[in-house]
Amino acid sequence: MSILSSIGRVATRYAAARARYRSERILLSLPAELREDIGFPEIFDARNGRRAATFSSKVI
């Protein structure tokens, strides 16, 4: 395993994380009613300020 392959893996993970957080920001900018319609889960737990995936039990 070379240093370049390690850097490549880190860069790939970083790019994936940035894309995921960008998608979350875009979805969070939508109105709440629209987010419910598409089934986007609540990702922010207001009680402790930490990210928590709490999926809705509602089935469409």
Residues 13 and 53: their CA atoms lie apart, in Å, by 20
In a domain, 32, yes or no: yes
Q: Is position 60 within any domain? A: no
Helix (H) or strand (E) holding 42: strand 42-45
**The pLDDT value given to residue 9:** 94
Q: Which pLDDT value is given to residue 43? A: 54
Q: pLDDT tens, 11-53? A: 999 999 999 999 989 988 999 888 888 887 765 544 345 454 4
* Residue 7 covered by a domain: yes
Which comes out higher in pLDDT, residue 45 or 2?
2
pLDDT at 58 over 80: no
Residue whose entry in the numeric block shows the structure tokens 């319609």: 37
Report field, pTM of the whole predicted structure over 0.85: no
Range of the domain at 9: 3-54
